[in-house]
Amino acid sequence: MPNSKPVSDLRNYNEVLKDITVGEPVFLTKNGRGRFAIVDIEEYERNQATIKLLSKLMEAEKAIKTEDEWLSEEEIKKDLGV
């Protein structure tokens, strides 16, 4: 179950911060609606790396579908000096 707290709980931010662990963000609500998420820095960095990896994979998939950036066997041998 998500850990939700009203944003007003930030007045005692130490209590809010101690509830944050990797994989367990704290969601802050404002006027009863979800507004913010506080995540552990390790989780944030992992999420950013995942986004970057998925972006690169999408670029590669697009290049494969459009047949861009493919090298011929001769070009590869030339680049490798074979």
The domain locations on the chain are 3-39, 42-80
pTM, two decimals, is 0.65
> Mean pLDDT throughout 28-39?
93
> Mean pLDDT throughout 43-61?
93
Q: How does the average pLDDT of the chain come out, rounded?
A: 88
Cβ-based neighbour number of residue 56 at 10 Å: 10
- Helical H segments across the chain, by residue range: 13-18, 41-66, 73-80
Instruction: Identify which has the larger pLDDT, 40 or 67.
Output: 40
State the pLDDT at residue 23. Answer: 85
Confidence band for 68, pLDDT divided at 50, 70 and 90: low
CA distance 60 to 6: 43
